[in-house]
Amino acid sequence: MRRQESVTTPSQTGARFDLVIIGSGPGGYVGAVRAAQLGLKTAIVEKDPDLGGTCLLRGCIPTKALLQSAALHQTLRHAGEFGFKIGDVRLDFQAVQKRKTGIVERMSKGVAFLMKKNAVQVFEGIGKIEAPGRVSVQSKSGKSQILETKNVLIATGSEAKGLPGMEPDGKKILTSDHILELGAVPKSLIILGAGAVGVEFASIFSSFGSQVTLVELLPRIVPGEDEEISKELERCFRKRGITSRTGAKVQKASPGPKGVEVTLIAGEAGKTESLSAEMLLLGVGRRPKSDGLGLDKTRAVVEKGFVKVDAAYRTAEPGVYAIGDVVGRAPLAHVASHEAVAAVETMAGGQPHPINYDQVPWCTYCEPEVARVGLTEKQAAERGYQVKSGKFPFSVLARAQILGETEGFVKIVSEQKYGEVLGVHIIGPRATELVSEGAALLKLEATTEEIIATMHAHPTLSEAMGEAALDVLGRSLNR
């Protein structure tokens, strides 16, 4: 895949800019568009030959494309339940990968079009701060040029994290980058880490026929979610044949000609046991990409790889800003976009809307989907709230039964005295779409009574939101 539009080679310009952005992910390119709208002469420096960053090229977008194919595979295998008689459903994994790649290419070209439309100059190469107001761009050919600029926005994102003694080789021990490019589905797969990355790939490859085992150091899978959500997802996974090993630490991983043997230390007694699979996926998180940016030549502070910024995303170096995963406040694409807009509007002398990180929607696209916004019951209690909660299962809803997707529920966490909604937690069909209503509720400081007074159409999945609010008050109408 090769970007064609809106590329400037380092030898073609010596222009001065109001803003140079390092990184073209959902933080970098959105920041560039907003800067152009505000009249700032803007450039983007991107080391990859294609625009879009990790999210588009190696993260959110290709992963969700595979998940959609996996979901369709599951539906086709149960076509008889919908009244269709079809033959054996055979997976063409090469075609699945081709579709994924096509989506990524089209989206990347779309980002390039946006840069051209907004007169943002794009430089392909490695960006580095050389001195205040000076960013070097080194191309793959070794040529270098200095861009002069009033402001710099660091939007370099993050990369897959490895573990000591388990170095990825791309064949037996994989990162999330490697597994997106597999040519065939492994017969068996151990996934180390049961957060969003782990459970999404567990869903994908289980649907495609792999025997999947999740290994999680903490006591439950998706440990950032409400406890009831974790329990429900583990139950659903168990039903699908996905094994979850929680409270287990990987001592070592030994690749061999037939696959990988993993040694676990599990349980309070520290019992050692072995698991084997064709491949091991390291899904243990990501680390910020802050090395090699020249920040050591500035007053910017970097701690454990994260760039320290204030509420307006300014570093301690005047004119240098940072947003997104490299800051680490909430490592999500949509957060990076909002942070970039806020940083750029600050540069332009505006007053951007503040970001409330308690109101960030978090989405996990496993099967069933998981989404949340706001506080869990435990978090709310720890902050001193008197908490009431209510739940409503999708299995009761006509729409869920029509879809054939009845697992999961909506849970609302509210403050007891005034009924203000503190958190919305969803597991089930279209959870990642439904959570946007929860985000609006928190933004507007809505109460459970106001949710009840809001009419939800029938038959829809969103009815579960109104019914969960009714359940908070002990007034559920449909169960």
Angle at 398 between CA 452 and CA 464, to 5 degrees: 30
> Given its phi and psi angles, is residue 221 left (phi above 0), alpha (psi -120 to 50 degrees) or beta?
beta
Which residue bears the tokens 């039903």? 239
Burial of 10 (0-12, 13-18, 19+ CB in 10 A): buried
Strands 387-393 and 369-374 come out as: unpaired
Tokens of 403: 């879809």
Strands 279-282 and 409-415 come out as: unpaired
Using CA atoms, how far apart are residues 402 and 128, in angstroms rounded to an integer?
A: 54
Using CA atoms, how far apart are residues 373 and 55, in angstroms rounded to an integer?
A: 21
- Which among 102, 107, 21, 109 has a CA at the least distance from the CA of 69? 102
Which residue bears the tokens 């050692």? 272
From 78, 334, 338, 458, the catalytic residue: 458
Q: What is the DSSP string of 51-99?
A: SSHHHHHHSHHHHHHHHHHHHHHHHHHTGGGGT---------HHHHHHH
Cβ neighbour number for residue 145 with a 10 Å cutoff = 18
Contact at 8 Å (CB) between 461 and 432? no
Whether omega for the bond prior to residue 331 falls within 30 degrees of 0, making it cis, is no
Contact at 8 Å (CB) between 321 and 295? no
Long-range Cβ contact pairs of 294-297 (< 8 A, separation 24 or more): 294/128, 294/129, 294/130, 294/136, 295/129, 295/154, 295/320, 297/129, 297/130, 297/131
Using CA atoms, how far apart are residues 327 and 113, in angstroms rounded to an integer?
A: 27
Tokens of 301: 């502070």
Is 73 annotated in the active site? no
Question: What is the chain's length?
Answer: 479
Angle at 55 between CA 108 and CA 71, to 5 degrees: 95
Using CA atoms, how far apart are residues 82 and 303, in angstroms rounded to an integer?
A: 55
Using CA atoms, how far apart are residues 37 and 22, in angstroms rounded to an integer?
A: 19
Residues labelled catalytic: 458
